[in-house]
Amino acid sequence: MTATDSEHVLDVREIDGEPFGDIMAALESLDRSETLLLLTSFEPEPLYGVLEQRGFTYETTQTSERWEIRIEYAGE
């Protein structure tokens, strides 16, 4: 999967500890027209409610190697 100019990739599979802070920082830096592609080794189900509360939508895909969560502002 290749990121576009308006898509930023955050791979949290190698982060030691809880990646929540890194994910929130990446989301806060997004422009409304940009997308974050989050790569994880697990499905981050607790994150989904936080995303919805903060006005984001997401699409989750599981591959043989990872979970890919594409996140963008709702209505974009």
pLDDT, averaged in runs of 10, over the chain (76 residues): 77 93 96 96 96 98 97 88
Q: How far apart are CA 34 and CA 30, in angstroms?
A: 6
pLDDT (0 to 100) of residue 75: 83
> Tokens 């898509």 map to which residue?
7
Q: How far apart are CA 23 and CA 44, in angstroms?
A: 11
Q: How far apart are CA 18 and CA 55, in angstroms?
A: 22
Classify 40 as helix, strand or coil. Answer: strand
| Domains in the chain, CATH or no CATH each | 7-73 (3.30.110.40)
